[in-house]
């Protein structure tokens, strides 16, 4: 019945979840693929889980999984990939600094690619946040040669077979395009809208936006050298 699953990682976002419900409900009505929503509650300590359960009870297109404790964004995305049964999977942050309707821009291109990612145009973040992201993206490109300008953009669509083959570890959510390239897949980036955070608290500071990703680059280089990639020719 469904063709596309949107993963929504959640960590202490009680102030945003009602807006998430409204925006994604509106998007489902205009989506170019039959769409369902999967919340992944990453061990929230506020009322997020209570609100998620209420939303899922009221909307048949919404479901959830919940972690016992906080494991991080990469773990939430990996769990979402594992529990996706549709042909296509995407994700969006629960702060809604990107617009769900822009998924249609990505879906329009996904037939010819294995991953299509947004690039945040006219970012509405602070100077320090923008500059640290620019530096981090430059460092990551030097290591991965993926050609992507904004891998931190929380708006992506991936063919699920490829998403499930990504060996996830902490911080690797920034390397999703590079991991698709390791599978000999093709990738594309498309400008999307960006908005300031209007509720809740940002979960990333200078360390996990700049210095953390630098260390993750070395993990990626090690993985690239060890990565096993094969295709079945025949079977009987």
Domain of 34: which CATH number?
Answer: 3.90.550.10
- In a domain, residue 231? The reply is no
- In a domain, residue 235? The reply is no
- How many separate domains does the chain show? 1
- In a domain, residue 94? The reply is yes
Which residue, among 98, 96, 99, 56, has the nearest Cα to 200 in the 3D structure? 96
152 and 137 Cβ atoms separated by less than 8 Å: yes
pLDDT beyond 90 at 128:
no
Q: What is the pLDDT of residue 231?
A: 78
Q: What is the pLDDT of residue 159?
A: 98
Task: Report the percentage of the chain scoring pLDDT > 70.
Answer: 83
- In a domain, residue 233? The reply is no
Q: Which band of pLDDT confidence, cut at 50, 70 and 90, is reported for residue 20?
A: very high
pLDDT beyond 70 at 227:
yes
In the chain, the N- to C-terminal Cα span, in Å, equals 31
Across the chain, what does the average pLDDT equal? 87
Domain with 211, as residue range(s), is 4-226
Name 233's Cβ contacts closer than 8 Å, sequence gap at least 6.
none
pLDDT digits (tens, 9 = 90+) for 137-194: 667 776 777 777 777 788 999 999 999 998 877 777 888 998 899 899 999 999 998 8
User: What is residue 42's DSSP assignment?
Assistant: -
Q: What is the pLDDT of residue 5?
A: 98
- In a domain, residue 232? The reply is no
Please tell me the pTM assigned to this model: 0.84
Measured distance CA(8)–CA(85) in Å, rounded? 15
- In a domain, residue 234? The reply is no
């Amino acid at each position: 019945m469904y063709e596309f699953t949107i993963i929504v990682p959640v960590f202490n976002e009680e102030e945003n979840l009602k807006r998430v419900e409204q925006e994604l409900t509106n998007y489902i009505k205009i989506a170019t693929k039959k769409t369902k929503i999967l919340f992944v509650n990453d061990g929230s300590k506020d009322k997020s889980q209570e609100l998620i359960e209420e939303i899922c009870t009221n909307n048949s297109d919404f479901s959830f999984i919940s972690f016992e404790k906080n494991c991080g964004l990469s773990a939430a995305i990996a769990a979402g990939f594992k529990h996706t049964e549709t042909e296509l999977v995407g994700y969006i942050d629960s702060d809604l600094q990107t617009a769900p309707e822009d998924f249609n821009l990505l879906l329009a291109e996904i037939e010819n690619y294995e991953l299509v990612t947004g690039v945040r145009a006219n970012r509405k973040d602070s100077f320090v946040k923008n500059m640290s992201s620019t530096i981090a993206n430059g460092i990551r490109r030097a290591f991965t040669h993926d050609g992507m300008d904004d891998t931190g953009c929380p708006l992506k669509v991936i063919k699920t077979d490829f998403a499930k083959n990504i060996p996830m570890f902490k911080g690797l959510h920034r390397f999703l395009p590079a991991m698709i390239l390791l599978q000999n897949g093709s990738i594309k980036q498309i400008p999307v809208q960006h908005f300031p955070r209007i509720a809740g608290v940002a979960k990333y500071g200078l360390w996990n936006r700049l210095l953390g990703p630098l260390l993750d680059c070395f993990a990626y280089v090690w993985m690239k050298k060890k990565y096993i990639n094969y295709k079945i020719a025949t079977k009987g």
